């Protein structure tokens, strides 16, 4: 396989940038900076080459491969751009080099971009300002019947600081504070206490979220979970987290949906422990498990919880199965991974 990064660096990043018409090219440490050759403009720090990646931090706000840049600058197709690059570099390139698969480098580079933006006071940082409970008087610290019917008690409610809202936009909802890795509250999710028939009739959603909450920027329970144990359990929903806590498993986080965002993938990789993923007992849950395996099993072991062998109903989650079944399968799947030595 040809290494485009090496070929390009041997050719000269500055020469390549000049070829695509970038202005104010200069070397900064191991990186290069210039105006963006794609959207143009006169910000001479907008465009960066760093460790194999070209990035426009300004208007384009994305990464580019060398071929991407040629395509965009000369308005030509992928195959034409590839040929041009091969001519410049004097060597054929495997198309696999331009793979759009997510790699750790992609993740690391995105982190680099978001860190850069945060430092520069950019607008799209994943660090959201702390959410403030504006309606505290409306969020009652009571263990609502909904929670009791679901098998939770007052201790569970207190542990997760769950509230109940009696009026306003979150009326008749269980208030769930969403934490970030530092334990700060980014916002709230409001889970309706009504069943699916009622929701269908009224057209209301099962969940409401506080304004500005980006679920994909965090993992529910991450602030409590990341200090524990030798593996991490990844589930879809809040209820599974509460159930696992009641069973004594606090090494669990929820994606708050059936997708794994890049940021969530990063947070999981940061824990650097094997993963036990359990989607709900439905199609979305299965495809989530596949997504987690595809994205993360290159870096950490990923085991899939066989919910379909245990759950009685479609869409059941860990919250609906028996503790013994969970413990049995978890032991079977995760027992082979060594415990971390704690000092």
* CB within 8 Å of 119: residues ≥ 6 apart: none
Q: How far apart are the first and last CA of the chain?
A: 44
Shortest CB 58 distance to Zn ion, Å: 5
Interacting residue with Zn ion among 24, 39, 106, 323 (CB under 5 A): 39
Tokens 């299965």 — which residue?
Answer: 286
Span of 60-68, 126-134, 138-146, 175-183 interacting with Zn ion by CB under 5 A: 60-68
The DSSP result for 117-148, as a single string, is: HHHTT-S--S-PPPP--TTGGGEE----HHHH
Strand partners, 165: 139, 173
The yes or no reply on residue 20 touching Zn ion (CB under 5 A) is no
Q: Are strands 47-50 and 207-209 parallel, antiparallel or unpaired?
A: unpaired
Span of 53-61, 214-222, 273-281, 315-323 interacting with Zn ion by CB under 5 A: 53-61
- Whichever of 54 and 329 has its CB closer to Zn ion, that residue is 54
* CB within 8 Å of 297: residues ≥ 6 apart: none
- Whichever of 39 and 83 has its CB closer to Zn ion, that residue is 39
Shortest CB 63 distance to Zn ion, Å: 11
Span of 7-15, 32-40, 164-172, 273-281 interacting with Zn ion by CB under 5 A: 32-40
The yes or no reply on residue 36 touching Zn ion (CB under 5 A) is yes
* CB within 8 Å of 40: residues ≥ 6 apart: none
Shortest CB 80 distance to Zn ion, Å: 21
Chain positions 212 to 241 lying near Zn ion, rule: CB under 5 A, are none
Span of 36-44, 213-221, 227-235, 255-263 interacting with Zn ion by CB under 5 A: 36-44
The yes or no reply on residue 24 touching Zn ion (CB under 5 A) is no
- Whichever of 48 and 240 has its CB closer to Zn ion, that residue is 48
What is the C-alpha separation between 16 and 36, in angstroms, rounded? 13
Strand partners, 277: 234, 304
- Whichever of 20 and 318 has its CB closer to Zn ion, that residue is 20
- Whichever of 59 and 314 has its CB closer to Zn ion, that residue is 59
Shortest CB 169 distance to Zn ion, Å: 39
Contact 48, 60 (CB under 8 A): no
Span of 28-36, 90-98, 120-128, 247-255 interacting with Zn ion by CB under 5 A: 28-36
Shortest CB 37 distance to Zn ion, Å: 8
Contact 232, 241 (CB under 8 A): no
DSSP letter assigned to residue 90: T
Interacting residue with Zn ion among 60, 170, 271, 275 (CB under 5 A): 60
- CA torsion through residues 242, 185, 111, 256, sign: positive
- Whichever of 26 and 206 has its CB closer to Zn ion, that residue is 26
Shortest CB 77 distance to Zn ion, Å: 20
- Whichever of 8 and 56 has its CB closer to Zn ion, that residue is 56
User: Residue 173, SS3?
Assistant: strand
Shortest CB 131 distance to Zn ion, Å: 33
Q: What tokens were used for 309? A: 């062998």
Tokens 């009652």 — which residue?
Answer: 140
Q: What tokens were used for 299? A: 């870096």
Q: What tokens were used for 150? A: 């679901």
Interacting residue with Zn ion among 56, 255, 258, 292 (CB under 5 A): 56
Span of 5-13, 49-57, 156-164, 329-337 interacting with Zn ion by CB under 5 A: 49-57
Residues engaged in binding Zn ion (CB under 5 A): 36, 38-39, 56, 59-60
């Amino acid at each position: 396989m040809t290494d485009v990064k090496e070929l390009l660096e041997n050719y000269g990043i500055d020469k390549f940038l000049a070829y695509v018409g970038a202005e104010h090219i200069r070397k900064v440490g191991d990186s290069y900076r210039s105006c963006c050759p794609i959207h143009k403009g006169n910000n001479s720090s907008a465009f960066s080459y760093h460790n194999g990646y070209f990035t426009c931090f300004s208007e384009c706000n994305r990464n580019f491969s060398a071929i991407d840049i040629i395509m965009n600058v000369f308005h030509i197709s992928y195959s034409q751009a590839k040929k041009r690059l091969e001519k410049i570099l004097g060597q054929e390139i495997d198309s696999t080099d331009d793979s759009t698969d997510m790699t750790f480098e992609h993740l690391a580079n995105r982190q680099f971009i978001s860190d850069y933006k945060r430092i520069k006071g950019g607008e799209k940082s994943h660090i959201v300002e702390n959410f403030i409970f504006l309606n505290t008087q409306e969020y009652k610290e009571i263990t609502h019947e909904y929670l009791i019917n679901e098998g939770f008690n007052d201790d569970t409610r207190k542990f997760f600081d769950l509230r109940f809202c009696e009026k306003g936009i979150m009326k008749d909802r269980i208030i769930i504070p969403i934490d970030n890795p530092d334990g700060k509250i980014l916002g709230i999710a409001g889970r309706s206490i009504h069943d699916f028939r009622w929701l269908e009739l009224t057209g209301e959603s099962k969940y409401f979220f506080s304004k500005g909450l980006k679920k994909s920027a965090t993992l529910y329970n991450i602030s409590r979970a990341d200090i524990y144990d030798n593996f991490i359990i990844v589930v879809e929903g809040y209820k599974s987290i509460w159930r696992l806590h009641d069973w004594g498993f606090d090494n669990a986080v929820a994606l708050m949906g059936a997708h794994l965002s890049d940021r969530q993938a990063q947070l999981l990789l940061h824990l650097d422990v094997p993963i036990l993923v359990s989607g709900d007992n439905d199609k979305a849950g299965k495809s989530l498990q596949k997504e987690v395996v595809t994205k993360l099993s290159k870096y950490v072991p990923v085991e899939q919880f066989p919910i379909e062998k245990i759950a009685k109903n479609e869409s059941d989650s860990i919250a609906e199965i028996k503790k013994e079944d969970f413990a049995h399968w978890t032991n079977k799947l995760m027992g082979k991974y060594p415990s971390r030595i704690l000092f």
